[in-house]
Amino acid sequence: METIEKIIERDYAAGMILDPNNNILLQRKDKGYIFWPNYWCTFGGGIRPEENPKETLIREIEEENELELFDIELFKSQPFVDCSKFGEPIKRKGIVHYFSAKFDGNLKNIKIGEGAGFSIFDREELIRYNKFGLIIPYNYEIIDRFYESLK
């Protein structure tokens, strides 16, 4: 029996959210998530037809962790393709619009709404986690470029 692959085409908005010390806030996907389960990634989500990417980021952050962001700026838009890690064969593709943003750094204000958790990473921790393959590769690539742009 032939397996039919399902393809989802959708654009996304994601935030490289920094605390006052330029450490980045990342989310850990839960083990049941079909794309990259248990991996660390940027916060964000799918763009609705009535939204622009910045509006999506603000909505997603409100849904996912209730943070108030400031200094939100588009950093880069990049195409991506994902394949499901288990279950039925699904691909998703589109463009991710990566924004830089800041929050006050108070982790007590975060109320996780989805995913398996969150953490703050400094640059060295990011490099170490990436070596062990714990960060979604296309997220890490953009985060690394972003940190290079801060120099």
The span from the CA of 76 to the CA of 17, in Å, is: 14
pLDDT of 14 reads 98
pTM of the predicted model as reported, rounded to 2 decimal places = 0.93
pLDDT of 4 reads 64
Element (H, E) at 61: helix 53-64
Average pLDDT value for the chain: 93
Nearest-CA neighbor of 17 among 59, 57, 56, 51? 57
Nearest-CA neighbor of 138 among 96, 99, 100? 96
So where are the chain's domains? 6-150
> Which stretches of the chain score pLDDT less than 50?
none
| CATH number for the domain running over 6-150 | 3.90.79.10
